Structure 1
Amino acid sequence: MADELLFESKNYYYLGNYQSAINEIHKKSKAINDKGGKQDADYYLYKSYISQGKYDLVQVEIKSDSTPTLQGLKLYASYLQSPQSNKDITLVTIKEWIKDGIVQNNYHLQVILASIYIHEQDYEEALKIIHQADFIEGLALLIQIYLKIDRLDLAEKAYNVMKGIDIDATPSLLSNAWIMIAQGDDKIKSALMTLEELSEKYGGSPLLLNGQAVCCILLKRFEKAETLLLESIEKNPNDFETISNLVNCYINMKKPSEVVNVYLQQLKSSPQALKSVWLQSVSLAEDNFERSKSKYAASSV
């Protein structure tokens, strides 16, 4: 019963429509009577708040005597609020929980803690937590990790397990789209179709709009990509992925440097900038260019 009541809420969450997920959970909360259903509702509610950047709200509302899963979400919110200053205590806490056996058999907590390691770009530790996942959300996260470390073969293997559980589940459809993008060539068109169908059915979210835009950039459909990304920015003006993809799109479109630089500066001021490999490479290229320009100017004197 709870699974049916939470179906729409979970779907909204998976697709990145976080406010819709929150609204749906509040709407259905009184009808959820069993303990497990209430815990699931709280999990997706607070994860949605975290995805919106409402870290203070999560930390205030989750009490010290809450379930391990909610404590994990509180830890996640604290970490994301200030990754540099809260990193050490967060990682120590995770190690303690693993040692105490709190994480074992707690699927939601496994996803939360593995997500923290992904933010740290410590994929080895993330895999230690999630590599034996046999549930949809865990497999979706596992596929993300494999794609980040360029192990398409392992991502495909994990997707085969996912198909056996529920091929039509939204995380399965999304995971297949990300895999097809990584496979390249004609598969990119298939990925684009999947993401377009999800957008038509559930509405465009920054997640879906970015996915479509990436496909369009790879297919050299830059004007279409720009339209999708500007729509995404209207929904979330500070979304790091959207702005990164828009910069990439504008570079390919050969837009004036002053247009590109506006978005590039916005990226550099984001808390996510320190963890962005792509932005680091852009900054390195800029530094090298400036050094070369200085040397040329000096030699011309």
Structure 2
Amino acid sequence: MSDIDDFYTARNLLYLGAYPQALANLSGLPRTCNELELKSLQYRAYLGQGNTALVLAEIPPTSHPTLLAIRHLALNDAAGTQTLASDAANQQSATFAAIAAQTLASAGLTDDALRLLDQHPRSLECVLLTVAIYLTIDRVDLAQKLVARARTWSDDAPLAQLAEAWTALAQGKVNEAHYALLELAQASSVDTVRLYCALAVTKMHLAQYAEAEALLQSALEKDPNHPDTLANLAICASLSANSAARARYLSQLAHAAPAHPFLLDLDMAGARFDAALAQVK
């Protein structure tokens, strides 16, 4: 059995945010499976659970480049990641590319991230991350083309379905995105914070704010300090004209993740408004 077959389920669970299930699946794999790939998925699942200390303790600076990429991901170390990514041998690994690209993209180095990912057009993990970056930089057209190409060979794999759902939402095809996410959740038999948040976003786009809030509250029960859940709850409260709830969620978000992009965008918008107001006076 190939490595891809061995880790297919665990990788899907990882990207759906089902970290305990991914770890449980990995623990049941045969000893003959690729140990490096096994560890890379385990450590990323631990990071997803917020267990950064464990990851840093178990991945010393002398580790294999793929594991070092995870260490840099945990530390948000873009400079260290760039050094690793400059080695052509490291670039040949789709797993390394996927991990390193996340760190680079988070640091705003989207061109570097895309160059890495582009070398692995048949890796669904790399395709999904490329789509995510395209959507972040408002290149929905490129995301749509990549999803269409992947559809010809991905056989409705969960990661391909996730990419399709994200792209459909960006295109304004909200119902299509919602049902794709719902089908994905049902097929994988998991209910994760990530899926709850994604489904809630589709509900907000449909102006179904009560249903969106219910989904987000379910996510909050699983993780009371999950930054994206709190950010979406603040947005939902704004759309529902509930200023008290909005202030409460923003306060929680500022405590849980003071550098969250939503808060940074709010600060930037406030600064622009103050500057415009000063010009009027």
TM over 0.5: yes
Shift of 1:61: 1.4
2:119 pairs, out of 115, 126, 132, with: 132
Distance (whole Å) between structure 2 residues aligned to residue 99 and residue 281 of structure 1: 32
Asked whether the 8 Å contact 1:233–1:242 carries over to 2, the reply is yes
Distance (whole Å) between structure 1 residues aligned to residue 84 and residue 8 of structure 2: 30
* CA offset digits 1:41-98 (Å, max 9, x no partner): 111111111111211101111244532211211221122xxxxxxxxxx333233323
Q: Flag structure 2 segments of 5+ consecutive residues without an equivalent.
A: none
Amino acid at match of 1:197: E
2:159 pairs, out of 161, 171, 177, with: 171
Amino acid at match of 1:55: T
> Given the alignment of the two structures, is residue 200 of structure 1 paired with residue 201 of structure 2, yes or no?
no
Give the 3 Å change call, closer, same or farther, for CA 285–144 of structure 1 in structure 2. Answer: closer
Once the two structures are overlaid, the 10-residue window that deviates more, 127-136 or 17-26, is 127-136
Give the 3 Å change call, closer, same or farther, for CA 45–291 of structure 1 in structure 2. Answer: same
Once the two structures are overlaid, the 10-residue window that deviates more, 92-101 or 107-116, is 92-101
- Alignment partner, residue 259 of structure 1: 245
Amino acid at match of 1:32: R
Once the two structures are overlaid, the 10-residue window that deviates more, 210-219 or 130-139, is 130-139
* CA offset digits 1:198-244 (Å, max 9, x no partner): 22232211111111111100010111100000001111112111111
Distance (whole Å) between structure 1 residues aligned to residue 144 and residue 271 of structure 2: 38
Distance (whole Å) between structure 1 residues aligned to residue 167 and residue 211 of structure 2: 22
> Given the alignment of the two structures, is residue 27 of structure 1 paired with residue 28 of structure 2, yes or no?
yes
> Given the alignment of the two structures, is residue 148 of structure 1 paired with residue 148 of structure 2, yes or no?
no
Overall identity of the aligned pairs, in %: 28
- Alignment partner, residue 220 of structure 2: 233
Higher gyration radius (CA): 1
Shift of 1:248: 0.7
Distance (whole Å) between structure 1 residues aligned to residue 110 and residue 4 of structure 2: 31
Asked whether the 8 Å contact 1:181–1:191 carries over to 2, the reply is yes
- Alignment partner, residue 93 of structure 1: 80
Distance (whole Å) between structure 2 residues aligned to residue 72 and residue 50 of structure 1: 13
> Given the alignment of the two structures, is residue 103 of structure 1 paired with residue 90 of structure 2, yes or no?
yes
Shift of 1:140: 0.5
Once the two structures are overlaid, the 10-residue window that deviates more, 65-74 or 38-47, is 65-74
Distance (whole Å) between structure 1 residues aligned to residue 223 and residue 108 of structure 2: 24
- Alignment partner, residue 83 of structure 1: none
Distance (whole Å) between structure 2 residues aligned to residue 167 and residue 39 of structure 1: 26
- Alignment partner, residue 6 of structure 1: 7
- Alignment partner, residue 242 of structure 1: 229
Asked whether the 8 Å contact 2:110–2:133 carries over to 1, the reply is yes
Give the 3 Å change call, closer, same or farther, for CA 164–220 of structure 1 in structure 2. Answer: same
Amino acid at match of 1:16: G
> RMSD between aligned alpha carbons?
2.5
> Given the alignment of the two structures, is residue 59 of structure 1 paired with residue 56 of structure 2, yes or no?
yes
Amino acid at match of 1:180: A
Asked whether the 8 Å contact 2:72–2:81 carries over to 1, the reply is no
TM-score by length of 1: 0.83
- Alignment partner, residue 207 of structure 2: 220
Q: Deviation above 6 Å: which 4+ runs of structure 1?
A: 287-293
TM-score by length of 2: 0.89
Amino acid at match of 1:73: I
Q: Flag structure 1 segments of 5+ consecutive residues without an equivalent.
A: 80-89, 294-301
Once the two structures are overlaid, the 10-residue window that deviates more, 262-271 or 171-180, is 262-271
- Alignment partner, residue 114 of structure 1: 101
Asked whether the 8 Å contact 1:233–1:239 carries over to 2, the reply is yes
Asked whether the 8 Å contact 2:227–2:260 carries over to 1, the reply is no
Asked whether the 8 Å contact 1:8–1:24 carries over to 2, the reply is yes
* CA offset digits 1:226-269 (Å, max 9, x no partner): 000000111111211111111111111111x2221111012223
